[in-house]
Structure 1
Amino acid sequence: MPLSALFDGYAAPDAAERASILIVDDLPEKLLVFETILADLDQHLVIARSGSEALREVLRQQFAVILMDVNMPGIDGLETARLIRGYRRSAHTPIIFVTAYADELQTAQGYSLGAVDYILSPVIPDVLRSKVRVFVDLFLMQQRLRQQALERIAIARAEAAQRAAEEGTRRSIFLAQAGRELADSLDADVAMRKLLALLVPRFAPRALLWLRDAGHGHERVLRCDAPSAQEVPLFAEGREQMLSEVLYNATRNALEPVVPTSGPASADEASPRALLHRETASGAVLPLVAGERLLGGLLLAEPHQPPDWPTLEELAGRAAIAFENARLYGALQAEIVERRQAEAELLEASRRKDEFLAMLSHELRNPLAPIRNAVEVMRSLADGRDPRLDQAVALTDRQVKHLTRLVDELLDVARISQGKIVLKTETLDLRDIVRQGVEPVQSLLDAQHQHLRIDLPPQPARVRGDAARLIQVVTNLAHNASKYTDAGGRIELALTGGPDGFELVVRDNGRGISSSLLPHVFDLFEQGPRGLDRNQGGLGVGLTLVQRLVQLHHGSVEARSDGPGRGSEFLVRLPAAKAVEVAEPQEPREPHLQASVPAHAAAPARANDRCRVLVVDDNRDAADSMAVFLELAGFETVVALDGPRALEQAAAQPPQVVLLDIGLPGLDGYEVARRLRTVPGAAQCLLIALTGYGQQDDRRRAHEAGFDVHLVKPADPDAVVELIQEWRHREISARHPETAAR
């Protein structure tokens, strides 16, 4: 059969399809002849001038046919053909030998190496062209058939994958819908009916569901049959009359082996997770398991064959979660009801206590006024006539004041508990509060011969609060310290603090507080043990009042003691009053840094005389201290604590000099420097790097990022000022040479 018959029924190769032809010959003139003859084929011609080049080309690509000279220096054509046949890709590539002389031995050897033809030189163009065209067309046909086969395989795989994806999508949609329906209600009865409606008749004509605990503390069983004339499934409840005992027993017997036992389980016993499904004579059984707890089971009578076990098992797992959530929700609801009842009882008891305290305080106030008036009348009538009478009047006056203070404390505690106290806040100096708070206790201290030491800071301690209430806090703490300190003891009040807040410490060397009592010293009516000789009693509300008043001022109070006989101390912490905002926006600075700036440095200079310096450092103390020093040197400074803020400042008010820390959080100094060089107005600024790293590589990175100067922390502020002034002088000299000359 002629070779052309192989191509019957196949379309001619597309013009866009091109095959590669390898021409191997060491003579340039022969290569030119081959190229000229084969140019009409419009294929890709690859030239190799030796056997080695031919082998390299064969490794790179696949050829339709190889034209090879037999006699070549180095590796001849026959050896090259043998090596080509050793590669898997070119094992069957057609090889046509071109030679001036071919004897029978050489021809036999060539054919044994896989040659398909011999052409004697000089070649006949039409013969060579027709023979090469046959192999080119054959190669293109094979490529086309191979591509079609691959396309068919790809189509088949895609169709199979599509079918699997569609099935998976349908399953996912069904399970997602089932999960939503089961999770919509935390009522087990509703969830049971929804689950059975999902199963019947989709998976079986009849299904049975039973739960050990349906959220009501008892077992529940429900059956569902496929609808006949009706459009909705038929449900039947019960276990004896309405429900088939056969179905119920089959479900129970099938699931009973997976119920956890109280004793140790043997290796043969299955755990609830071990059984996913089981087929019985009555149908397919699936357990409902949550964790290691068997909740119940499902029985599908006469399920569709083959059962879709993956979907059924996933549905059973989701149903088990829904039923467990319903059970837990029921238990939680019962617990919430119990807690609410208990909280209501506690709130009622607390309300009655507060009402009683308020009533008691008001009732006790009524007789106090006339008693106090009577004391004053007796004082005026006595007029020093009888020392015993004066002593009695003084004693009565002290006790009336003491009783008045107790009544005030009771009333204040009741008011705070009921939320009826409203603070009259203003800016106060805590030093004045401490001085005024000690005054009411001074007579008690003198009577006990106790030594009082007050340590106040020289600068004002500004807070926002109610002066009367804060004085009450100091008075109660000082009174408490005196009451529990023996005669001749020491009491100390120390006030310290800073810009964030202040701390008042009331310390004594008295009886101390036991470790068991210390956590409860601020509880209402709580008191430490007192001796029989204590004439300064109390109701145990003073410290409670202190704590609640301090909390109303957004502060805290803490009690400390090393134990009985070792004294005690109370620490009151109050937030500092916020500084008044200035009209011109600027970065906040520490008070001590602001105070160190002299008045003349704050005076504004002319714009052309001031050099604006942007200081960028995430350490506020470092940034502010450097800014203050530069301001003292006559520069205008702006502080930024991070990279983004520095870029915003540079864009709003371009600086002439930037002192930039490298180790910034987020956006580091290198990146900030690169971006600064693109900011209009700041691109030509003096950019100084401040860093704790001073190696050569660090300096190189700084230079590449655009820094002009690299300084290692801690940098000498005088050197920084001198550096800026020198740069400023050079800049002015460059702009105004006549000024520099003068």
Structure 2
Amino acid sequence: MSIHQLTRSASSSHIRVPVRPRPLLPYGVALLSVVVATLLRLALEAFGVRLPFLTFFLATIISAWLGGVGPGALALGLSLAANAALFGASDRTRTAAFLVVCTVIVLLYGSLRAAKGRAERARESELEARRAAEAARERASFLADGNVLLTASLDYDQTLSTVAGLLVPRLADWCAVDVVEPDGTIRRSAVANRDPALARATSVYPPDPDGRHPRTAVIRTGRSQLFAEVTDEGLVSIAANAEHLRVMREMGYASAIIVPLVARGRTLGAITCATMESGLHYTTDDLALVEDLAVRAALALDNARLYRAAEAARAEAEEANRVKDEFLSVVSHELKTPLASTFGWLRVARTGKSDQARAFDTMERSMRAQAKLIEDLLDVSRIVAGRLRLDPRPIELARVVEAAVDTIRPESEAKGVRLDVRVTPPTGPVVGDADRLQQIVWNLVSNAVKFTPPGGRVGVRLHEVGSDAELVVEDTGKGVTKEFLPHMFERFRQADPVTSRDKGGLGLGLAITRHLVGLHGGRITVASDGPGKGTTFTVVLPVSSLAANGSS
């Protein structure tokens, strides 16, 4: 049974036809209510209770409530007539008041019943819409299942085989998926059948070797074909041989649909669906449903081919990565060359023929700078290769921060940059690698000092926020543009390459810092109000939690 037939039969069980009231019944109720009201009035009169219109008022309300304007007006008229005939003329004021009040009530109940009628009609329209919505939902569910299966794998043979399996229990008794190979030949990618033996029997015949099958025309033209009834003459025209014809007759095709698989303007293949033992005949609705599924299947097939191309491109990118890593290794070795010259100056200084203090100071700074560049390059190489490891232990973060700041203090004092350090030790330790944590602090503080002009200030604050330790490094330096902020932690990226080159460095420190913070289970953010307004880095690390497992 097709999706549409299933939906129609399922929806019919939810339809509830409202019961229409009999048209004369409300008027009978109105007449009866006036009779009862008259009898009650007579009884009250017998006991000396004189309430001229109370019982008739109730009769009118009941009639209007049950029947609307017509029965209510009838009850009102009969009440006035009964009151005048049996009890004589009443006070005109009371009669007028009774008439006005009852008329208003009758009209109100009439409006209420009209509104209820409109609501009933709206409900009937809603039921019709619900039937259509259920049909659409069934269709959407079918297509959603197809989407899930199509996106489950990038192997298009496996994907299309799954699609054939989806079509067979829900829309077809037999389904085949054929794809066009790059050389133009047609290959059967998947076959599904309620009878596996018949599926194996049909799979031994190549799909349309002589081009007589309608599938060939569908692939060539890109237009679907619907065969509401498959005739024996049609089977004879496409049979490869007598055995093939026998198998097709044994399968008992009743109806068939063939739709192309088209993606980006190219026909990639075709899906063929057929009914057999169910005896059902396809409609244009079924054709539209299979066409919708074919669009998704074609996209999956095309994506699978694009994925293979992307895999090749990724392999090329990995090769480029390898070359880049080799370049970093070469650069690191090249950076060691100036160290040989530095050691040469050291030997000269030992001869006593130069200002030894100045020579030693110059050589030490040069050696430290070169060693830092080399270490940064090696760290990047370890990060890329996944070999950067930690030695996590409980660490007092306050001591790590103070030690890192102390190593930078001489440089800041020589430059005239004031270091404002405020450290509040967290209540618990931070589990991490002491050397790498000190490297994080050193990178941030030294970077701040480097880009802060003389007379500026670099603030370093450590405090506890909730269950985390927060390290804030802020400066009054040159700041960063909003456009560059998202790229601050990328390797080899510098906001101002010319200035950065003058100050030294390869643009690796912040990238390494972010990676180290991540290995410790923390996070790092950067903020700046713009050029000339300084920069603020914030590092958050968990307290008393083994956030790092010791490997990248």
Change (3 A) 1:427 1:559: same
* Structure 2 residue 474 is matched with structure 1 residue 503: no
In the TM superposition, residue 326 of structure 1 has moved relative to its aligned partner by 6.2
Could you tell me how far apart the structure 2 residues matched to 1:548 and 1:376 are? 36
TM-score by length of 1: 0.40
Could you tell me how far apart the structure 1 residues matched to 2:164 and 2:473 are? 69
Could you tell me how far apart the structure 2 residues matched to 1:192 and 1:490 are? 66
In the TM superposition, residue 334 of structure 1 has moved relative to its aligned partner by 1.5
* Structure 2 residue 179 is matched with structure 1 residue 214: yes
The structure 1 residue matched to 2:490, chosen from 523, 540, 550, is: 523
Could you tell me how far apart the structure 1 residues matched to 2:494 and 2:337 are? 27
Could you tell me how far apart the structure 1 residues matched to 2:345 and 2:425 are? 42
Q: Does the 8 Å CA contact 1:186/1:326 hold for their aligned counterparts?
A: no
Q: Does the 8 Å CA contact 2:218/2:258 hold for their aligned counterparts?
A: no
Partner of 1:332: 303
In the TM superposition, residue 464 of structure 1 has moved relative to its aligned partner by 0.9
Partner of 1:355: 326
Q: Deviations over 1:128-187 (max 9, x none)?
A: xxxxxxxxxxxxxxxxxxxxxxxxxxxxxxxxxxxxxxxxxxxxxxxxxxx9xxx99937
* Structure 2 residue 407 is matched with structure 1 residue 440: yes
Q: Does the 8 Å CA contact 1:276/1:313 hold for their aligned counterparts?
A: no
Could you tell me how far apart the structure 2 residues matched to 1:578 and 1:299 are? 62
The structure 2 residue matched to 1:286, chosen from 230, 233, 256, is: 256
User: What amino acid maps onto 2:442 in structure 1?
Assistant: T
The structure 2 residue matched to 1:540, chosen from 501, 504, 507, is: 507
In the TM superposition, residue 436 of structure 1 has moved relative to its aligned partner by 0.8
User: What amino acid maps onto 2:417 in structure 1?
Assistant: Q
Could you tell me how far apart the structure 2 residues matched to 1:239 and 1:533 are? 68
Change (3 A) 1:328 1:393: same
The structure 2 residue matched to 1:489, chosen from 456, 471, 484, is: 456
Partner of 2:279: 308
Q: Deviations over 1:655-707 (max 9, x none)?
A: xxxxxxxxxxxxxxxxxxxxxxxxxxxxxxxxxxxxxxxxxxxxxxxxxxxxx
In the TM superposition, residue 372 of structure 1 has moved relative to its aligned partner by 4.8
After the TM superposition, which residues 221-240 of structure 1 pair with which residues of structure 2 at under 5 Å, given as runs?
232=201
Partner of 2:47: none
Q: Does the 8 Å CA contact 1:512/1:564 hold for their aligned counterparts?
A: yes
Task: Name the SS of the counterpart of 1:398 in structure 2.
Answer: helix
Change (3 A) 1:310 1:479: same
Q: Deviations over 1:705-731 (max 9, x none)?
A: xxxxxxxxxxxxxxxxxxxxxxxxxxx
In the TM superposition, residue 319 of structure 1 has moved relative to its aligned partner by 7.9
Could you tell me how far apart the structure 2 residues matched to 1:545 and 1:309 are? 67
In the TM superposition, residue 506 of structure 1 has moved relative to its aligned partner by 0.6
Could you tell me how far apart the structure 1 residues matched to 2:333 and 2:469 are? 36
Q: Which residues of structure 1 form unaligned runs of 5+? A: 1-178, 223-230, 261-271, 580-742
Task: Name the SS of the counterpart of 1:357 in structure 2.
Answer: helix
TM-score by length of 2: 0.52
Could you tell me how far apart the structure 2 residues matched to 1:191 and 1:469 are? 51
Could you tell me how far apart the structure 2 residues matched to 1:344 and 1:490 are? 48
Could you tell me how far apart the structure 1 residues matched to 2:290 and 2:525 are? 53
User: What amino acid maps onto 1:277 in structure 2?
Assistant: A
Which is greater in Rg? 1
Q: Deviations over 1:617-669 (max 9, x none)?
A: xxxxxxxxxxxxxxxxxxxxxxxxxxxxxxxxxxxxxxxxxxxxxxxxxxxxx
Change (3 A) 1:232 1:573: closer
The structure 2 residue matched to 1:342, chosen from 304, 310, 313, is: 313
The structure 2 residue matched to 1:475, chosen from 442, 449, 457, is: 442
Q: Deviations over 1:182-215 (max 9, x none)?
A: x9993799899999x99xxx99xxx9x998x725
In the TM superposition, residue 277 of structure 1 has moved relative to its aligned partner by 2.9
Could you tell me how far apart the structure 1 residues matched to 2:273 and 2:469 are? 69
In the TM superposition, residue 531 of structure 1 has moved relative to its aligned partner by 5.8
Q: Does the 8 Å CA contact 2:481/2:530 hold for their aligned counterparts?
A: yes
Q: Does the 8 Å CA contact 2:481/2:531 hold for their aligned counterparts?
A: yes
In the TM superposition, residue 439 of structure 1 has moved relative to its aligned partner by 2.1
Could you tell me how far apart the structure 1 residues matched to 2:159 and 2:362 are? 75
Q: Deviations over 1:15-72 (max 9, x none)?
A: xxxxxxxxxxxxxxxxxxxxxxxxxxxxxxxxxxxxxxxxxxxxxxxxxxxxxxxxxx
After the TM superposition, which residues 603-642 of structure 1 pair with which residues of structure 2 at under 5 Å, given as runs?
none
Could you tell me how far apart the structure 2 residues matched to 1:324 and 1:219 are? 21
Could you tell me how far apart the structure 1 residues matched to 2:455 and 2:262 are? 70
Task: Tell me the matched-pair count.
Answer: 356
Q: Does the 8 Å CA contact 1:509/1:566 hold for their aligned counterparts?
A: yes
User: What amino acid maps onto 2:523 in structure 1?
Assistant: S
Could you tell me how far apart the structure 2 residues matched to 1:298 and 1:507 are? 68
User: What amino acid maps onto 1:333 in structure 2?
Assistant: A
User: What amino acid maps onto 1:243 in structure 2?
Assistant: R
Superposition RMSD in Å: 5.1
Change (3 A) 1:482 1:410: same
Change (3 A) 1:310 1:536: same
After the TM superposition, which residues 120-519 of structure 1 pair with which residues of structure 2 at under 5 Å, given as runs?
186=157, 214-216=179-181, 220=186, 232=201, 241=210, 243=212, 259=223, 277=228, 286-288=256-258, 295=270, 308-309=279-280, 327-362=298-333, 364-365=335-336, 368=339, 370-382=340-352, 390-457=357-424, 460=427, 462-498=429-465, 500-519=467-486
Highest RCO, 1 vs 2 (Cα 8 Å, sep ≥ 6): 2
Question: What is the identity percentage for the equivalent residue pairs of Structure 1 and Structure 2?
Answer: 27
In the TM superposition, residue 356 of structure 1 has moved relative to its aligned partner by 2.7
Q: Does the 8 Å CA contact 1:290/1:321 hold for their aligned counterparts?
A: no
Task: Name the SS of the counterpart of 1:186 in structure 2.
Answer: helix
In the TM superposition, residue 571 of structure 1 has moved relative to its aligned partner by 1.0
Task: Name the SS of the counterpart of 2:527 in structure 1.
Answer: strand
Change (3 A) 1:431 1:330: same
Q: Does the 8 Å CA contact 2:523/2:541 hold for their aligned counterparts?
A: yes
Could you tell me how far apart the structure 2 residues matched to 1:453 and 1:335 are? 56
Q: Does the 8 Å CA contact 2:223/2:260 hold for their aligned counterparts?
A: no
Change (3 A) 1:316 1:412: same
Task: Name the SS of the counterpart of 1:412 in structure 2.
Answer: helix
Q: Does the 8 Å CA contact 1:493/1:505 hold for their aligned counterparts?
A: yes
In the TM superposition, residue 568 of structure 1 has moved relative to its aligned partner by 0.5
Q: Does the 8 Å CA contact 1:503/1:572 hold for their aligned counterparts?
A: yes
User: What amino acid maps onto 2:509 in structure 1?
Assistant: G
Name whichever of 345-354 and 506-515 sits farther off: 345-354
Task: Name the SS of the counterpart of 2:506 in structure 1.
Answer: coil
Task: Name the SS of the counterpart of 1:510 in structure 2.
Answer: coil
User: What amino acid maps onto 1:490 in structure 2?
Assistant: R
Q: Which residues of structure 2 form unaligned runs of 5+? A: 1-148, 189-199, 235-253, 264-268, 547-552
Change (3 A) 1:237 1:321: farther
Task: Name the SS of the counterpart of 1:341 in structure 2.
Answer: helix
Could you tell me how far apart the structure 2 residues matched to 1:351 and 1:430 are? 37
Could you tell me how far apart the structure 2 residues matched to 1:393 and 1:320 are? 81
User: What amino acid maps onto 1:508 in structure 2?
Assistant: D
User: What amino acid maps onto 2:311 in structure 1?
Assistant: R
User: What amino acid maps onto 2:179 in structure 1?
Assistant: A
Q: Does the 8 Å CA contact 1:236/1:243 hold for their aligned counterparts?
A: no
In the TM superposition, residue 485 of structure 1 has moved relative to its aligned partner by 1.1
